[in-house]
Amino acid sequence: MSYDVVVIGAGPGGYVCAIKAAQLGLKTAIVEKRATLGGTCLNVGCIPSKALLHASEVYAEASHGFDALGVTVGKPKLDLGKMMAHKQSVIDANTGGVAFLMKKNRIDSFTGSGKVLAAGKVEITAADGAKQVLETKNIVIATGSDVAGIPGVDVAFDEKVIVSSTGALALEKVPANMIVVGAGVIGSELGSVWSRLGAKVTIVEFLDKVLGPMDGEVSKQFQKLMEKQGVTYKLGAKVTGVKKSGKGATVTFEPVKGGKAETLAADVVLVAAGRRPYTEGLGLAEAGVVLDKQGRVEINDHWQSNVAGIYAIGDVVKGPMLAHKAEDEGVAVAEILAGQAGHVNFDVIPGVVYTQPEVASVGKTEEELKAAGIEYKVGKFGFNANGRARAMLHTDGFVKILACARTDRVLGGHILGFGAGEMIHEIAVLMEFGGSSEDLGRTCHAHPTMSEAVREAALATFAKPLHM
């Protein structure tokens, strides 16, 4: 069999690359070793976590949020089995949707483990050991990432008591208490889920702030709101041991600045200390493909590895490990292979944490601008002064806009608040067009909307907000 492109890995990077390549007229195949398509994102990542985040948010709101609105309901009862069934039906609908899209776009989909024999040759090994080789002009490696564990610590995941995100998405009962290692994105989202469902959650984090790369002010306020919801943090604490103990497990950590170690016990320990690029079994060393120091496929500006005809995208290459970043790289590579100009603007990749309230960010943080010596202006507006937020009792959080002091060009936007993940995109579009805070502040916004707070923050950047 001979193709223009063979994509290895059917996550958001790989399957989107395959669709775009097929749309551009390239004969395309995709190889996936999981039984279902969609990768980490659809099977054990973005989609199932959002299903549980939404369901647990509704549960929490019904438990203590309806009363103030004049809606009296009895104490809600949790049916965890049904909640998990909801999650599974969302996964099935989405993975099935990707399989449909492969057929619709006439992409040949192979189930099995892909291995690069050399440029132009991909071997597929099916679950029963049967092998076949595809000939292709180009190979796109989109094999994603896997759980990293904790650097320097031996973690024996059993996915029941000591769990990664995968186990934390499938617990059979709500633990009385849970320790989370890492106050990053997974720790915050899945810690939130189990905390809302009734677990006492303690998050142990190496850094002295939560959500590491996020804007400092946002991160501080977010921590306070999570604490109000019942989450406990141990910051500046380096986890040095995670061990099974009786029916539960213990976590040992020591202050990063030095001092006495402490050990806490819990029913379940979620280790969410990062992910690593996944290249096992791909035969990259034999094919001569160079990896960087972090084990990612090294690529040039056109996502090409050091071997002609072998490209790589998504979590397995540099950049943020985000589904939409992988998708955009997939599109760009397909365009390049079709002779077009593929491009991704890495300065405008939004990041969203789907807690309640949500955290959303695009562009530079205040800390990054300071470190780069760029003079900037800040405009802020709190949701407590926004009519729609008051009407919905979602007044926590604020919008923060950072613009160049000289040109007023918007360099970053940060939102902590209900629906932040939707609102961030108007700042992203503005930044794509090189827009200024004045452009945003002079754009008419519908009333009453949460988005008016984004406009007010823009007004606060170049002039004065109207409602504060």
Q: Which residues are annotated as a binding site?
A: 50, 114, 143-145, 182-189, 205, 274, 315, 321-324
Among 181, 323, 430, 454, binds ligand FAD (CB under 6 A): 323
The question of whether 394 is a catalytic residue gets the answer: no
Among 3, 5, 6, 13, binds ligand FAD (CB under 6 A): 13
* By the rule CB under 6 A, 333 interacts with ligand FAD: no
Binding characters for ligand FAD, 228-267, by CB under 6 A (x = yes): ----------------------------------------
The whole-angstrom separation of Cα 337 and Cα 140 is 10
Q: Which stretch binds ligand FAD (CB under 6 A): 54-62, 211-219, 317-325, 340-348?
A: 317-325
Among 15, 354, 376, 462, binds ligand NAI (CB under 6 A): 354
Three state DSSP letters for the chain: CEEEEEEECCCHHHHHHHHHHHHCCCCEEEEECCCCCCHHHHHHCHHHHHHHHHHHHHHHHHHHCCHHHCCCCCCCCCCHHHHHHHHHHHHHHHHHHHHHHHHHCCCEEEECEEEEEECCEEEEECCCCCEEEEEEEEEEECCCEEECCECCECCCCCCCCEECHHHHCCCCCCCCEEEEECCCHHHHHHHHHHHHCCCEEEEECCCCCCCCCCCHHHHHHHHHHHHHCCCEEECCEEEEEEEEECCEEEEEEEECCCCCCEEEEECEEEECCCEEECCCCCCHHHHCCCECCCCCECCCCCCECCCCCEEECHHHCCCCCCHHHHHHHHHHHHHHHCCCCCCCCCCCCCEEECCCCEEEEEECCHHHHHHCCCCEEEEEEEHHHCHHHHHHCCCCCEEEEEEECCCCEEEEEEEEECCHHHHHHHHHHHHHCCCEHHHHHCCCCCCCCCCHHHHHHHHHHHCCCCCC
Minimum CB distance to ligand FAD smaller for 332 or for 459: 332
Binding characters for ligand NAI, 397-426, by CB under 6 A (x = yes): ------------------------------
Binding characters for ligand NAI, 237-256, by CB under 6 A (x = yes): -xx-----------------
Instruction: Map tokens 């213990």 to a residue.
Output: 250
The whole-angstrom separation of Cα 114 and Cα 123 is 6
CB of 159 to ligand NAI, least distance (A): 15
- Could you tell me if 379 and 391 are in contact, meaning their C-beta atoms sit under 8 angstroms apart? no
* By the rule CB under 6 A, 273 interacts with ligand NAI: yes
Annotated binding residues for NAD(+), written as ranges, equal 182-189, 205, 274
Among 124, 322, 389, 423, binds ligand NAI (CB under 6 A): 322
The whole-angstrom separation of Cα 223 and Cα 429 is 28
Binding characters for ligand FAD, 104-143, by CB under 6 A (x = yes): ---------xx---------------------------xx
List binders of ligand NAI among 136-175 (CB under 6 A): 150
Q: Exposure of 76 by Cβ count < 10 A (0-12 exposed, 13-18 middle, 19+ buried)?
A: middle
CB of 152 to ligand NAI, least distance (A): 7
Tell me the number of residues near ligand FAD by CB under 6 A.
Answer: 36
Among 81, 97, 259, 320, binds ligand NAI (CB under 6 A): 320
* By the rule CB under 6 A, 181 interacts with ligand NAI: yes
CB of 160 to ligand NAI, least distance (A): 19
List binders of ligand FAD among 142-171 (CB under 6 A): 142-145, 165
Catalytic-role residue among 54, 64, 425, 447? 447
List binders of ligand FAD among 350-409 (CB under 6 A): 354
Minimum CB distance to ligand FAD smaller for 277 or for 397: 277
What are the distances in angstroms from CA 196 to CA 58, 63, 301?
Answer: 9, 9, 43
CB of 12 to ligand NAI, least distance (A): 12
Among 182, 357, 412, 413, binds ligand NAI (CB under 6 A): 182
Q: Which stretch binds ligand FAD (CB under 6 A): 259-267, 313-321, 407-415, 422-430?
A: 313-321
- Which among ligand NAI, ligand FAD, none contacts residue 114 (Cβ within 5 to 8 A by kind)? ligand FAD
**Contacting residues toward ligand FAD, per CB under 6 A:** 8-14, 31-34, 39-41, 45-46, 49, 113-114, 142-145, 165, 186, 278, 281-282, 314-315, 321-324, 326, 354
Query: Which of the residues are catalytic?
Result: 447
